[in-house]
Amino acid sequence: MFSRSVAIIIAGMTFAAPALAQDAIIVQSTTSTANSGLYDHLLPIFAEETGIDVNVVAVGTGQAIKNARNCDGDVLLVHAKPAEEKFVEDGRGVSRSDLMYNDFIIVGPGDDPAGVRGMEDVQTALQQIAQTGALFASRGDDSGTHKKEIALWSDTGIDPTTASGGWYRETGSGMGATLNAAQGMAAYAMTDRATWLSFRNKGDFDILVQGDADMFNQYGVILVNPAVCPSVKAEAGQAFIDWLLSEAGQGAIAAYTLDGEQLFFPNAKG
C-alpha cells in the first residue's frame, strides 16, 4: 500500500515541477501593480507577441527587492527609486529604466474629521491630520508606498511614529489590507490611485487629497543581474523589459483603464 502511494506522490510532484515552463520568467513586483489588474491586461499581449510566459509574484516593494537579491526572480518592477538605484549600484541589477508613473492620493472617511478635503498641498494636509489627531493608517511594511509616505511625513517635520498605536496606525500589511483596516476604523490612508480605483470595499471613503507633484509615483524596471544570479533568464527577461519600454508596451500601458480612467502613465525615455 505504502509503495503505491509513494509512486503516486512522486509522479504528482514531478508533473508539478515542469509547470514552470522553460521560457517563463518571474517578475518580482508590487501588490499595487498586481491588484490594479495591469498585468492581467499586459501579459496576454506580451505572450501573444513573444510566446514568453510571465509569472508575477506580488509582494511589498521591500520584499520584492529582497527576493530579487536572493535571485528569486528575473525582473524587478517596483516603485521606490532610491532603493532601486541602490539595487543596481550593488551590482544586483543590470540597469534601471523609468517605465511609467501613477500618483498617490489620500483617502479617508466622507465626514473628513481633519477637514482636508480638496487640499492639493499634501504637507498641509498631513500636518492637519497630525494636529487633529485623526486616525491615519500606514502600511508600515517597508513597501514603496510606505517609503513614499515616510518621505512625505519627514517633509512636514512631524515624526508620526511617536504616535504609533495612537492616532498613527501601522498595519504592517499590503495596500488592500491597509485600506480594509482604514475602512474599518475610519482612518485616513495614503494609497496609489490604481489600487484605489480597483479597490471594491470603498464604503463611504472618498479621495480627499490629490494633485500634489510630491505625490508622483514613478515605477522602474530592472533586469536582475545574470552575472550575479546565474539562474536568471536574461534573454527572456530583457525581452520583457524591452517590450515594456517599446512603443507597443508603452501604448499597452496607456490603454489600460478601469471605470474609464487611465491608471498608469507611460514615461519611458524612448
Partner 1 sequence: MSDISDALHMAGQLVLHRDADLIEIVALSLHVSLSAVAIACLVGLPLGALLAITRFPGRGAVLTLVNALMGLPPVVVGLIVYLHLSRAGPLGFLGLLYTPTAMIIAQTILITPIVAALSRQVLEDLHAEYADQFRSFALSRRQTMQALIWDARYSLLTVALAGFGRAVAEVGAVMIVGGNIDHLTRVMTTAIALETSRGDLALAMALGMVLMALALGVNAAVHGVRLTAARQAHA
Q: Does 122 bind partner 1 (CB under 8 A)?
A: no
CB 59 within 8 A of CB 67: yes
Q: Does 231 bind partner 1 (CB under 8 A)?
A: yes
The single-letter code of the amino acid at 4 is R
Q: Does 110 bind partner 1 (CB under 8 A)?
A: no
- Of all helices (H) and strands (E), which one includes residue 138? strand 136-138
Cα angle for residues 180, 182, 185 (degrees, 5° grid): 110
Indicate the residue among 5 and 162 with the shorter CB distance to partner 1: 5
Indicate the residue among 71 and 207 with the shorter CB distance to partner 1: 71
Indicate the residue among 69 and 193 with the shorter CB distance to partner 1: 69
Indicate the residue among 9 and 151 with the shorter CB distance to partner 1: 9
Least distance from C-beta 260 to partner 1, angstroms?
Answer: 19
Indicate the residue among 153 and 256 with the shorter CB distance to partner 1: 256
Q: Does 138 bind partner 1 (CB under 8 A)?
A: no
Name residues contacting partner 1, limited to 6-45 (CB under 8 A).
Answer: 6, 8-9, 12-13, 16-17, 19-20, 26, 31, 35, 40
Name residues contacting partner 1, limited to 48-87 (CB under 8 A).
Answer: 55-58, 67, 69-72
CB 179 within 8 A of CB 36: no
- Of all helices (H) and strands (E), which one includes residue 107? strand 93-108
CB 54 within 8 A of CB 25: yes
Alpha carbon distance 149, 157 (integer Å): 13
Q: How many residues bind partner 1 (CB under 8 A)?
A: 38
For the chain, the straight-line distance linking the first and the last C-alpha, in angstroms and rounded, comes to: 63
Given 104, 199, 219, 256, the residue binding partner 1 (CB under 8 A): 199
Q: Where do contacts with partner 1 occur on this chain (CB under 8 A)?
A: 2, 5-6, 8-9, 12-13, 16-17, 19-20, 26, 31, 35, 40, 55-58, 67, 69-72, 174-177, 179-180, 183, 198-202, 229, 231
